[in-house]
Amino acid sequence: MNTKMGRTLQYETLKSANYAADCPVHLAIGMFDGLHRGHQLVIESAKKAASASGGVCGALTFWPHPSRLFRPDDPARMILNPELKRLELAKLGLDFIVEEPFTREFAAIEAAQFLAHLKSEVPSLSSVHAGENWRFGKGRTGDMTELQRQGETTGVDVNAVPCLDSGSERVSSTRIRNLLTTGNLCEANELLGYHYYSIGTVTQGKRMGRTIDAPTLNLPFEGDLKPAYGVYAVSVSDVSLGHEYKAVANFGLRPTVEMTNKPLLEAYLLEKCPFDYGHRLKVVWHAFLRQEQKFAGVDELKRQIAKDVEEAKAFFGRSDLGREGGAS
Ligand SMILES: Cc1cc2nc3c(=O)[nH]c(=O)nc-3n(C[C@H](O)[C@H](O)[C@H](O)COP(=O)(O)O)c2cc1C
Ligand SMILES: Nc1ncnc2c1ncn2[C@@H]1O[C@H](COP(=O)(O)OP(=O)(O)O)[C@@H](O)[C@H]1O
């Protein structure tokens, strides 16, 4: 089965990527969690190869993350859930995306057989592209030097894309996860190459926000990796419409008024709010302002929220978003 996002086709398995038998296929391969600037270079490499040869380019990515299989008690938390990863991949102008199920069977493919396996699934495979440190095959024993050796015998061009560094450290999904969970949002955004964002549907809360002059759009958090609990300058838009509204949001468990077990993202718009319960919204996270706190009472919380609002306004005043008069 395949579906379409813009011009990008989506396949559930590599085998079902049914391009014409004689059409050269160029594949970027990886987990691509976060689709950060390093990942974007790998995708670029596949796109360039495709435009040079007249073939098609696709991304072969996997779900779930291998750690779900091998370390179920402590899996890596994903920056992008499958919905967001699909959205980000589709923006990169690929012809197709494959979200191959990462099963025990797939994990058991011997490293020495890896490229032959891909070629048997896609006979017109012309080139593969992955980061120079990418590892594959049973026990992750295969590396890019090994893949290049296999490329010589299978007639597939293998491109090891040099890892991207930032501040003398490699750009990686793990590094970005750590930055997000420690409140270093600006650096995370820099490494991602776009602003971290989340999507959620507005639900009803305790209807207390309006009584403390800060009505909020309550958005249960749908992500896997949880950024640091705290207050953020964000912008909010309808998922399918463009205009972004500047806002200040709290992400956390609301210890002052209740202690929820699931984190909530609550956004107070700094301008007139056109949204209501049931709206599906995109929230772009721009800056971390402070950690979430347990206040002695609602009055103290209310005073702090007023300061947060001022700080968010000051942030937007300094940022490009403020100068453009919008957040798009
Ligand atoms: C800018 C902002 C900052 C907030 N900071 C905190 C906080 O530090 N601690 C906390 O317990 N709740 C915090 N909250 C959440 C409030 O407790 C919550 O929005 C309020 O109780 C209204 O809840 P309701 O939407 O269920 O009516 C914050 C909310 C906003 C909008
Ligand atoms: N500036 C604003 N920012 C966010 N929501 C607003 C704003 N002005 C009005 N609203 C509306 O108020 C509602 C939230 O009010 P609130 O008292 O916090 O109730 P709840 O606890 O159900 O979220 C939002 O769903 C939204 O429709």
Q: Which residue has the tokens 């705290």?
A: 230
Residue that the structure tokens 């971390």 belong to: 288
Rounded to the nearest angstrom, the distance between the alpha carbon of 254 and the centre of ligand 1 is 6
Confidence (pLDDT) at 219: 97
For residue 254, which atom of ligand 1 is closest to its CA? 11
**Residue 125 near residue 156 (C-beta atoms within 8 A):** yes
Nearest CA owner, ligand 1 atom 4: 250
Cβ-based neighbours of 33, under 8 Å, separated by 6 or more: 65, 76, 78, 79, 80, 85, 173
Evaluate if residue 323 carries a pLDDT over 80.
no
In the predicted structure, residue 87 carries a pLDDT above the cut 60: yes
Q: Is 253 in the pocket of ligand 1 (CB under 6 A)?
A: no
Q: Give the H/E segment covering residue 69.
A: helix 66-70
State in Å: Cα 249 to ligand 2 middle.
Answer: 12
**Can you tell me which atom of ligand 2 is nearest the CA of 211?**
17
**Count of beta carbons in the 10 Å neighbourhood of residue 262:** 8
**What integer pLDDT is reported at residue 325 of this predicted model?**
44
* Closest ligand 2 atom to Cα of 206: 21
User: Residue of the nearest CA to atom 30 in ligand 1?
Assistant: 250
pLDDT at position 115: 98
pLDDT confidence of residue 7: 85
Question: What is the 296 CA–ligand 2 centroid distance (Å)?
Answer: 23
Residues 6+ apart with CB under 8 A from 105: none
> In the chain, what percentage of residues exceed pLDDT 90?
86
| Ligand 1 neighbourhood includes 311 CB (under 6 angstroms) | no
220 CA to centre of ligand 2 in angstroms? 14
Q: How confident is the model at residue 328 (pLDDT cuts 50, 70, 90)?
A: very low
Please tell me the predicted confidence (pLDDT) of residue 88: 94
Distance CA 283, CA 231 (A): 13
pLDDT at 327 exceeding the cut of 50: no
Q: What does DSSP say about strands 157-161 and 125-131: parallel, antiparallel, or unpaired?
A: parallel
Work out the number of other CB atoms within 10 angstroms of the CB of residue 315. Answer: 18
- For 81, half-sphere exposure in the C-beta direction (CA atoms, 13 angstrom radius) is 11
Mean of pLDDT over the chain: 93
Any atom of ligand 1 within 6 Å of the Cβ of 231: yes
Nearest residue (by CA) to ligand 1, atom 17, is 254
Whether a cis peptide bond, with omega within 30° of 0, leads into 263 is: no
Burial class (CB in 10 A: 0-12, 13-18, 19+), 162: exposed
β 245-252/264-269 pair status: antiparallel
The Cα 42–Cα 168 span in angstroms is 20
**Quick one: pLDDT at residue 53?**
87
302 in contact with ligand 1, CB cutoff 6 A: no
Q: What is the CATH number of domain 2-165?
A: 3.40.50.620
The mean pLDDT value for 217-222 works out to 96
Distance CA 221, CA 226 (A): 8
Q: What is the CA(227)–ligand 1 centre distance, in A?
A: 17
Element (H, E) at 305: helix 298-318
Domain with residues 195-322, CATH architecture: Beta Barrel (2.40)
| ipTM given for this complex | 0.94
Cα 120–124–126 angle (5° rounding)? Answer: 105
pLDDT tens readout for residues 220-275: 999 999 999 999 999 999 998 879 999 999 999 999 998 788 999 999 999 999 99
Q: Are strands 56-63 and 96-101 parallel, antiparallel or unpaired?
A: parallel
Residue range 168-178, pLDDT digits in tens: 999 999 999 99
Given a contact cutoff of 8 angstroms between Cβ atoms, the answer to whether 78 and 181 are in contact is: no
At residue 293, the pLDDT reads 97
Q: List residues near ligand 2 (CB under 6 A).
A: 202, 204-210, 215-218, 268-269, 273, 275-277
Ligand 1 in reach of 208 Cβ (< 6 A): yes
Identify the pLDDT of residue 322: 60
pLDDT tens per residue, range 45-69: 999 999 998 899 999 999 999 999 9
| Cα-to-centroid distance, 213 and ligand 2 (Å) | 10
User: Which ligand is closest to the CA of 272, given by its number?
Assistant: 2
Give me the pLDDT at residue 3, please.
Answer: 66
Domain ranges of the chain: 2-165, 195-322
